[in-house]
A and B are shown apart, each in its own frame.
Chain A
Amino acid sequence: MLTLNTFFRLFFLLGILPCVIVLYGIVPQKARRWVLLLSSYFVFWAFSGKLIVYLLFSTLSVHHFGLWLSGIQMEEQQLLSGLSKDEKKSVKKRSKNKQYAVIFLAVVIHIGLLLILKYSAFFATNINTLLGVMGSDYSLEVPKYILPIGISFYTLQAVSYIVDVYRKKIQADTNLLRLAMFMSFFPQILEGPICRYSDTADTLWQAPKLKYENFLLGLQRIVFGIFKKLVIADRLNLFIQNVFNDYRQYDGFIITVGVALYTLQLYAEFSGTMDLVIGSGQIFGITLPENFKRPFFSSSISEFWKRWHITLGAWFKDYIFYPLSMSGPLKKLTAKSRKKLGNHFGPLISGSIALFCVWLCNGLWHGPAWHYIFFGMYHFAFILLGNIFDPYFSRLAAFCRINRRALPYRCFQIVRTTVLVCIGELFFRSNGLKAGMIMFKKMITEFSLKSLADGTVFKLGIDAYDLIIVLISTGILFFVGLLQENGVSIRDGIMKKNIVARFAIYYAVIAFIVVFGAYGINYLPVDPMYANF
């Protein structure tokens, strides 16, 4: 089986993607979808071996549940004709109950499988610790499962498909192959984005003809992704590994630099991989959803999560937050609390309960460990505090005559949000919650510029040369982001230039990556960071 580390080099630098593109381009139209499906299964098999059966099972299962739900909905429609209002109500209620039962079963099977494979060892270990504290000799056996690649991503796609059929947002697909393509499209297997059936299934099934314009646009995006990954993320890897693994040896300054650089690395790696994935899709004429929208221009934690890992946040919002907060008991709570506490704090109580569940799931989704749960709760706390105090901040700003939409105030908000995000990422990356706490404490109590003055900071995997390249590259990222924030489409601008100027830009970027990319024996390429989630 292949390791995760080989994914990037194998697919985007050494040629599996080009092979699929060539094959896709030369086969007849009807065979194109087969090229995509078989390539996808080949990639799954290459990384997961026989664990591909989980993907096949999930695909067969959602297909079956979709048709089951659709059958109940059609039966309801047939029964409704010619009935009185009361009889219609009763038929609808019976049908709803049946559909709830089907949804429940489907969610239990799919999420249950994920829970067993991903979390059973975590739960067993914690139960054993608890039993030990209580003085019990009994202990549970800690199971060991190998996690199939991409299961956290395709399970969420599977659940969204079934719920969308239930909500009649989409029709259940009778075509098993189309559903299989939606569940397995190969560029997105490792790190998403988490797609919805309504967004990608039809285009994947149509398998559009290759177009020169799509090819160029896709390639542009891929090159930009390689730039982020090779020039920034990989260059920082050795330093970050040193800081996070041997944090006890370093002072607060080095840890602060490590945390800031890790946040930059995570963004460069994850958004860079998304560029590769979305660019690959674009080459085939398939539009995949965006996962990043310049998150470091956010003015609050809440806004940050609308711009960072967008498809995960949207999934939690659509399938956990709103269903929970719009459920009978929470709606009643909202109505009651609104009467007592008013329009602001009333809905905040039920909303906070739903929000707590979202952030608990978000933390756990990232991994079965307490520091991930802490990461979720950390963001929950800031979003909640933001919601509670927002009206007071508005009044205070009005009293002090501060324009909250003015540039200086927005800059202050952006810096504040970035600092809070960096601290969150410290706990996210740390080797356990205790290590995260110690590192955070060191950042505050042991901060001194001594390690900068004596040059220790430049002996941990990055030197001044590396730092200058990272700073220039981050400056380029910031400049591109700033233009995009102001509605300037750089890619359209490049496409409008004449062929000489266009290719001069392409070659300049490629030359920059070749010269300043971090590869070879002195560097440690970073694994796809979201692949293990």
Chain B
Amino acid sequence: MDKRLIEILEELQPEVDYYTCTELIDGHYLDSLTILSLIAEIEDEYDITVPTVEIIPQNFNSAKSIWEMIERLKEE
């Protein structure tokens, strides 16, 4: 997994272990506004556009799933 992604997540919400947490949305660690910040950050960092349809809990519940979404969007 990309270290920069973990750094971004830690800047936004420091109280979480992003290597193990798999319920960032379901466990209420990231709220809607934090998701907006996160999307703005990853769009800048990885030069991608995150469409609204991708904003679902499955894509944001763990750092791993966020990274998988980024990789998928980079390919498109």
Interchain CB contact under 8 A, A348 and B33:
yes
Establish whether residues B37 and A343, one from each chain, have CB atoms under 8 Å apart when the complex forms. yes
A272 sits at the interface (CB 8 A): no
Q: Is B11's beta carbon under 8 Å from chain A? A: yes
CB distance from B53 to the nearest CB of A (A): 4
Contact of B52 among A167, A303, A350 (CB under 8 A): A167
Q: What is the bound-complex CA distance between A169 and B32, given in angstroms? A: 21
Report B37-69 CB contacts with A as 1/0, cut-off 8 Å. 101110000000011110100000000000000
Instruction: Report yes or no: A326 in contact with B32, Cβ–Cβ below 8 A.
Output: no
Contact A387 B33 (CB under 8 A): yes
When C-beta atoms are compared, the residue in chain B nearest to A164 turns out to be B53
Chain A residues 325-346 with CB under 8 Å of chain B are 325-326, 331, 334-335, 338, 343-344, 346
Residues of chain B within 8 A of A325, CB atoms compared: 36
Residues of A close to B28: CB separation below 8 A: 302-303, 306
In the assembled complex, B31 has its CB within 8 A of some CB on chain A: yes
Q: Judging by beta carbons under 8 Å apart, are A302 and B53 in contact?
A: no
Residue A192 CB within 8 A of the other chain: no
Is A317 a contact partner of B40 (Cβ separation < 8 A)? no
Report if A168-B53 is in contact (Cβ < 8 Å); known contacts: A303-B28, A321-B32, A343-B12: yes
B33–A343 CB distance below 8 A:
no
Interfacial chain B residues near A394, Cβ < 8 Å: 15
Q: Which residue of B lies closest to A334 (CB)?
A: B40
How far does the alpha carbon of A119 sit from the alpha carbon of B39 in the complex, in Å?
36
Find A346's partner among B15, B37, B52, B55 (CB 8 Å cutoff): B37
Contact-residue size bin, chain A (C-beta under 8 Å from the other chain)? 20 to 34
- Contact between chains at B53 and A334 (CB < 8 Å): no
Tell whether, in the assembled complex, residue B52 and residue A351 are in contact, meaning their CB atoms are under 8 Å apart. Answer: no
In Å, the complex CA distance between A167 and B33 comes to 22
Quick one: CB contact mask for A300-320 with B, threshold 8 Å, 1 for yes?
Answer: 001100100000000001100
Quick one: which of A167, A303, A318, A347 contacts B36, CB cutoff 8 A? Answer: A347
Q: How far is the CB of B73 from chain A (nearest CB, A)?
A: 14
- Tell me if A326 and B52 are in contact (CB < 8 A): yes
Q: Which residues of A contact B36 (CB under 8 A)?
A: 325, 334, 347, 350-351
Docked CA distance A338–B40 (Å): 9
Which of B32, B39, B52 makes the CB contact (< 8 A) with A323?
B52
Known: A167-B53, A303-B28. A326 touches B33 (CB 8 A): no
Distance between B48 CB and nearest chain A CB, rounded to angstroms: 13
Instruction: Give the complex CA separation of A130 and B40 in angstroms.
Output: 42
The distance in angstroms between the C-alpha atoms of A387 and B37, with both chains bound, is 12
Q: Residue among A318, A322, A351, A387 with the most chain B CB within 10 A?
A: A322
Q: How far is the CA of A318 from the CA of B55 in the complex (A)?
A: 8
**Contact status B31-A387, CB under 8 Å:** yes
What residues on A are CB-neighbors of B12 within 8 Å?
343
Structural contact, A302 and B31, CB atoms closer than 8 A: yes
Q: Is the CB of B55 within 8 A of A322?
A: yes
Instruction: Please determine whether A326 and B11 come into contact, CB atoms closer than 8 angstroms.
Output: no
Chain B residues within 8 Å of A317, by CB: 32
Query: Which of chain B's residues have a CB closer than 8 A to the CB of A346?
Result: 37, 40
| Across-interface contacts of A334 in B (CB, < 8 A) | 36, 40
Let me know if A343 and B41 touch, CB within 8 A. yes
Q: Which residues of B contact A326 (CB under 8 A)?
A: 39, 50-52, 55
Closest residue to A387 on the B side, CB-wise?
A: B33
Q: Mark B20-36, 1 if CB is under 8 A from A, else 0.
A: 00000000100111001
For the complex formed, measure the closest distance between the CB of B57 and the CB atoms of chain A, giving whole angstroms: 10
Shortest Cβ gap from A491 to chain B (Å): 20
Q: Which residues of B contact A348 (CB under 8 A)?
A: 33
Contacts of B52 in A (CB 8 A): 167, 318, 322-323, 326
Residues on A with beta carbons closer than 8 Å to the beta carbon of B32: 317, 321-322, 351, 355
Map CB proximity to B onto A174-186 as digits: 1 under 8 Å, 0 otherwise: 0000000000000
Q: Could you tell me the distance between the alpha carbons of A325 and B28 in the complex, rounded to whole angstroms?
A: 20
B37 shortest CB reach to chain A, Å? 4
| CA A443 to CA B36, docked complex, whole Å | 39
CB distance from B74 to the nearest CB of A (A): 18
Residues of A within 8 A of B51 (CB): 167, 326
Nearest chain B CB to A339 CB, angstrom units: 10
The listed residue with most A CB atoms (<10 A of its CB), out of B36, B37, B52, is: B36
In the complex, which of the residues B15, B37, B39, B53 contacts A344, with contact meaning CB atoms closer than 8 Å?
B37
**Interface pair A347/B53, CB less than 8 Å apart:** no
Cα separation A387 to B50 with both chains bound (whole Å): 23
Q: What's the Cα separation between A47 and B31 when bound, in Å? A: 40
With a cutoff of 8 Å between Cβ atoms, the chain A residues found around residue B41 in the complex are: 343
Task: Give complex CA distance A284, B15 in Å.
Answer: 43
6 A-B pairs within 8 Å (CB atoms) are namely A317-B32, A325-B36, A326-B39, A343-B11, A387-B31, A394-B15
The 10 A-B pairs with the shortest beta carbon distances in the complex, nearest first, are A167-B53, A347-B37, A351-B33, A347-B36, A322-B52, A351-B36, A322-B55, A326-B52, A303-B28, A334-B40
Other A-B contacts than A323-B52, A346-B37, 18 sampled, CB-CB below 8 A, are A167-B53, A168-B53, A302-B31, A318-B52, A321-B32, A322-B32, A326-B50, A326-B51, A335-B40, A338-B40, A343-B11, A344-B37, A347-B36, A347-B37, A351-B33, A351-B36, A355-B33, A394-B15
